């Protein structure tokens, strides 16, 4: 098998030389284990945090070990009664062409949706959106839901679920193409292009009744301006702060709005809420199957393309869910 390990920890921006491609032999399967050939690797912003040594909610990714990551693949051999050769499965097998996991660490892919969707709209990013909107924001019909990184894996689901709840969905995304996708394909009511240089004015125009619910993926200036648009008793789901992941200082100036507007702000990590996954995955899969939930993927080709694709993700160069296709 081929795998990519963390060769060194980044100082600031992630560089290709922080990674190393290796070829290693697969060990023999133990009782209860499953061998999976990975078809897709998911690239997600949280990985940036794991590459640093700084204390966070999870232990750092060890050096010289396979980079952490979710994978979708097909069982190649099984010594676990619940899995048979040919089963499509989702797991955390990392940046690698193959992987071995205990059966309990895998879940069967949803047959109603394409395999790759199990890493995005019908996987962890989708559940993240579902939880933030339903459990933290508790968006009510008629309320305005603002989401940053709106064309991305999480944000795109937030806005579409918000629309299905009868909310006004407003996105922030980078560039006219992404914004057109967010409104025309995903059906958001409005999308603000943060690269257009008029973020404050455009945000005001897109949220004439203010913002009741903010789903934050980015941080930085967008968050500051969004806080200033919040209505009294608004809620903020703090899901990601990708603008600061490479260590650039991203001070917040509009903290006072949390007080003035009596906001409730909550940070969350979706893996800590396993109780919602079955319901969320079931609802998301059904919505994808019925065509009510749309998604878009950026596919990098081959494991060797993963580092560059990941660096692009951190810079917002992806368009939709960033995946690596491991089998042509």
Nearer to its own copies, 216 or 283 (CB): 216
Query: Which two three-digit tokens encode residue 263?
Result: 């906001």
Contacts of residue 201, Cβ cutoff 8 Å, sequence gap at least 6: none
Q: How far apart are CA 139 and CA 167, in angstroms?
A: 7
Q: How far is the CB of 185 from its own copies (least distance, A)?
A: 29
User: Is 266 near its own copies (CB under 8 A)?
Assistant: yes
Q: How far is the CB of 92 from its own copies (least distance, A)?
A: 20
User: Is 56 near its own copies (CB under 8 A)?
Assistant: yes
Nearer to its own copies, 196 or 253 (CB): 253
Nearer to its own copies, 26 or 252 (CB): 252
Q: Which of residues 206-225 bind its own copies (CB under 8 A)?
A: 219, 223
Q: How far is the CB of 161 from its own copies (least distance, A)?
A: 21
Q: Quote the DSSP letter at residue 95.
A: S
Q: How far apart are CA 216 and CA 229, in angstroms?
A: 14
Nearer to its own copies, 23 or 272 (CB): 272
Q: How far is the CB of 272 from its own copies (least distance, A)?
A: 7
Output phi, psi for 250, to 5 deg.
-130, 70
Query: Which two three-digit tokens encode residue 207?
Result: 């949220």
Nearer to its own copies, 264 or 294 (CB): 264
User: Is 263 near its own copies (CB under 8 A)?
Assistant: yes
Q: Which of residues 234-253 bind its own copies (CB under 8 A)?
A: 238-241, 244, 249-253
104, 82 in Cβ contact below 8 A? no
Element (H, E) at 21: strand 19-23
Contacts of residue 80, Cβ cutoff 8 Å, sequence gap at least 6: 32, 33, 34, 102, 103
Label residues 26-58 b or e (16+ Cβ within 10 Å = b): eeeeeeebbbbbbbbbbbbbbbbbbbbeeeeee
Binding mask 31-50 for its own copies (x = CB under 8 A): ------------------x-
User: Is 260 near its own copies (CB under 8 A)?
Assistant: yes
Enumerate binding residues for its own copies (CB under 8 A).
Answer: 49, 56-57, 219, 223, 232, 238-241, 244, 249-253, 255-256, 258-269, 272
């Amino acid at each position: 098998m081929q795998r990519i390990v963390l060769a060194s920890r980044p100082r600031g921006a992630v560089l290709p030389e922080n990674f190393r491609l290796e070829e290693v032999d697969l060990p023999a399967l133990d009782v209860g284990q499953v061998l999976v050939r990975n078809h897709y690797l998911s690239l997600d912003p949280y990985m940036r945090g794991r590459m640093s040594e700084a204390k966070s909610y999870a232990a750092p990714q060890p050096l010289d070990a396979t980079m952490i990551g979710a994978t979708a693949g097909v069982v190649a051999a099984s010594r676990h009664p619940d899995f048979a050769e040919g089963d499509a499965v989702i797991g955390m097998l990392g940046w690698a062409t193959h992987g071995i996991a205990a059966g309990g660490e895998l879940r069967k892919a949803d047959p109603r949706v394409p395999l790759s969707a199990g890493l995005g709209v019908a996987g962890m990013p989708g559940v993240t959106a579902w939880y933030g909107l339903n459990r933290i924001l508790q968006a009510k019909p008629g309320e305005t839901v603002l989401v940053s990184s709106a064309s991305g894996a999480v944000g795109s689901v937030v806005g579409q679920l918000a629309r299905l709840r009868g909310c006004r969905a407003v996105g922030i995304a980078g560039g006219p193409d992404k914004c057109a996708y967010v409104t025309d394909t995903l059906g958001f009511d409005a999308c603000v292009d943060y690269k257009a240089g008029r973020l404050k004015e455009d945000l005001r125009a897109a949220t004439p009744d203010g913002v009741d619910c903010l789903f934050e993926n980015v941080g930085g200036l967008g968050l500051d301006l969004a806080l200033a648009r919040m209505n009294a008793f608004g809620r903020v789901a703090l899901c990601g702060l990708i603008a600061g992941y490479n260590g650039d200082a991203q001070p917040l100036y509009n903290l006072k709005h949390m007080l003035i507007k009596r906001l409730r702000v909550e940070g969350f990590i979706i893996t800590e809420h396993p109780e919602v996954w079955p319901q969320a995955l079931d609802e998301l899969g059904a919505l994808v199957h019925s065509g009510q939930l749309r998604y878009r993927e950026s596919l990098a080709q081959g494991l060797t393309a993963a580092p560059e694709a990941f660096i692009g993700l951190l810079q917002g160069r992806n368009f939709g869910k960033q995946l690596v296709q491991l089998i042509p």
